[in-house]
DNA sequence: GTGGTCTAGACCACA
DNA sequence: GTGGTCTAGACCACT
């Protein structure tokens, strides 16, 4: 599994990285315990600023997706934190966009099901490499 | 139905307005033909600059949610434009966020269903007021 | 043949009307001598301001597509005026748009040919009605 | 290659700039990867407000002609997006204008060919300067 | 140092 | 009286 930066993407780079890690966890490509590259290593690989990677990691830590320790670096560690209320609001906006365009409820649900089906089982893949 | 500005919200103001209009259409609060306030009127009501409102309207127009006429201002007019491919990618990220937090597939789907159930029927509410 | 106004169209109404008349002449739907409705008549039919129609007619007259007489109203009368240099510049921009998107030269030319094939013969249809 | 502003031109300034960039791409003067001046730099050079330049760039980005990066400014990046359906309608109007003036089909096609012949090969001119 | 957002106010085109 | 364009200048987000 590979992290990458898309300059054409409107999202800030740190957000792209954050989203990619979250999706990788959802897909099951990485799981509880998987070590992430060091910020400096990843920054070098992606040719982005060290602070940018740092910010992505910090965001992931705040959201409870990874744990950062001084000596062993960052690793996936999904805390029990439930998705916050903003998550639901954001999802509502996302679904409204399609519904307002007259996409049928069932079609929208089908897309959701398809996406969820693309996510992996919950068996942690310890030790799988990320970068 | 009322549009508002939340200064604490991280989204730009024009995006908040855009999202609120899209959700209002999805809920059925406003529908085909509903007139939106003029840019300058809404700007005055919300105490924001008219350019900000103008930008929100322009975005909605580009996305095919409203129609802007030189004489009568803006009105809801859902064009046939389908949701763009980015929509699905964005939805995937949104769903991944919850799935990565170990929220069960069925629970996520239930939330989607709940949200969709909160959206209105497809009967346009002509003449309903927006501001 | 019918003139119409599309409020969703970004072009000003007077420009829409002007364009429609020009295209009608090109298609051969109307030709040398065809009478146009009076400004007041057309304005009433289209539910637009009288000045708007007037402006469209004035533009067509200036460009040499119609002749306006006080007593018999407006009628198609294509003057010998050649297309001005702005026409070529405008066409260049139009073609550049497709070429810059990597559309092959031959494909672009094919579209031009198709469009031209859709235009009529040069037999004037005297007396055909416009509105 | 030089961008410029023609005050006598009826088109809005941002549209002029947009058109000039599109034509420059078509001519091959600039190509994939060519960096455009920063918005504020170009604005200073042309003695217009940076918002005006910004709007031109935003339009080009939406149309898929350039890519705007937060760090390195704008660069030519022709996306796969095809020309929209409006393009053909617009071209039809353009061609109708000449055909309605009795310009022979073949002459019109010759003009199209001439214009297309003036466009460059599809070899990107990396590094060529724009302003 | 780059683009993005917002404000404020002027003037024009259109209807 | 509507939206569209442009100017000017401030502040913020991102890198």
Convert the pLDDT of each residue in D2-58 to its tens digit: 899 999 999 999 999 999 999 999 999 999 999 999 999 999 999 999 999 999 999
The whole-number pLDDT of residue A130 equals 56
Residue D122 has pLDDT above 50, yes or no: yes
* Position D130 confidence tier, pLDDT thresholds 50, 70, 90: low
Q: Do the domain assignments include residue C29?
A: yes
The whole-number pLDDT of residue D123 equals 57
The whole-number pLDDT of residue C130 equals 56
Q: Do the domain assignments include residue B59?
A: yes
The whole-number pLDDT of residue A126 equals 47
Percent of chain B with pLDDT over 90: 80
Convert the pLDDT of each residue in C52-77 to its tens digit: 999 999 999 999 999 998 888 899 99
- C3/E15 CA-to-C1' distance in Å: 18
Percent of chain A with pLDDT over 70: 92
Neighbours of chain A (3+ CB pairs under 8 A): B, D
Convert the pLDDT of each residue in D63-77 to its tens digit: 999 999 988 889 999
* Position A120 confidence tier, pLDDT thresholds 50, 70, 90: confident
Are D108 and C116 within 8 A, CB to CB?
yes
Q: Do the domain assignments include residue C41?
A: yes
Are D79 and A7 within 8 A, CB to CB?
no
Residue B84 has pLDDT above 80, yes or no: yes
**Nearest nt by C1' to D69 Cα:** E3
Considering only CB atoms, which chain D residues are within 8 Å of A7? 67, 69, 72
Residue D89 has pLDDT above 50, yes or no: yes
The CATH number of whichever domain residue C56 belongs to comes to 1.10.10.10
Q: Do the domain assignments include residue B92?
A: yes
Chain E nucleotides covered by protein, CB below 7 Å: 1-9, 13-15
Query: For C109-125, what is the mean pLDDT?
Result: 84
The whole-number pLDDT of residue B122 equals 63
The answer to whether D42 and D53 have CB atoms below 8 angstroms apart is yes
Q: Do the domain assignments include residue D78?
A: yes
* Position C37 confidence tier, pLDDT thresholds 50, 70, 90: very high
Bridge partners of A69, per DSSP, are A73
The whole-number pLDDT of residue B126 equals 46
Minimal Cβ distance to D67: which of A8, A12, A13: A8
Minimal Cβ distance to B77: which of C8, C12, C13: C8
Q: Which domain holds residue D53?
A: 13-117
Closest among D14, D6, D17 to D131, alpha carbons compared: D17
Convert the pLDDT of each residue in B26-62 to its tens digit: 999 999 999 999 999 999 999 999 999 999 999 999 9
- Backbone φ and ψ of C103, nearest 5°: -75, 130
| Domain count within chain D | 1
Cβ burial, residue D1 (10 Å; 0-12/13-18/19+): middle
Q: Of residues B71 and C13, which shows the higher confidence score?
A: C13
Residue D125 has pLDDT above 50, yes or no: no
The whole-number pLDDT of residue A103 equals 94
Q: Of residues C69 and D108, which shows the higher confidence score?
A: D108
Closest among D111, D68, D67 to D91, alpha carbons compared: D111
Are A7 and D67 within 8 A, CB to CB?
yes
pTM given for the model: 0.91
Q: Do the domain assignments include residue A81?
A: yes
Q: Do the domain assignments include residue D128?
A: no
- D53/F7 CA-to-C1' distance in Å: 12
Tokens matching residue B105: 């597939």
Q: Do the domain assignments include residue C124?
A: no
Tokens matching residue B6: 């939340």
Percent of chain A with pLDDT over 90: 75
* Three-class SS state of C64: coil
Among chain B, residues having any CB pair with chain C shorter than 8 Å are: 67, 69-70, 72, 77, 79
CA C90/CA D91 separation, integer angstroms: 10
Per residue in A57-78, is it b (16+ CB within 10 Å) or e — as a string?
bbbbeebbbbbbeeeebbbbbb
3-state helix, strand, coil in chain B (%, to 5): 50, 5, 45
């Amino acid at each position: 599994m590979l992290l990458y930066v898309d300059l054409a993407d409107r999202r800030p780079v740190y957000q792209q990285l954050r989203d990619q890690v979250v999706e990788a966890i959802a897909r099951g490509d990485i799981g509880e315990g998987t070590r992430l590259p060091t910020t400096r290593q990843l920054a070098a690989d992606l040719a982005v600023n060290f602070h940018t990677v740092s910010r992505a990691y910090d965001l992931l830590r705040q959201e409870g997706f990874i744990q950062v320790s001084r000596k062993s670096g960052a690793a996936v560690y999904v805390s029990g934190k439930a998705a916050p209320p903003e998550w639901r609001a954001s999802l509502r906006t996302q679904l409204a966009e399609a519904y307002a365009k007259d996409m049928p409820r069932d079609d929208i649900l089908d897309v959701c099901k398809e996406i969820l089906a693309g996510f992996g089982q919950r068996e942690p893949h310890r030790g799988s490499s990320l970068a």
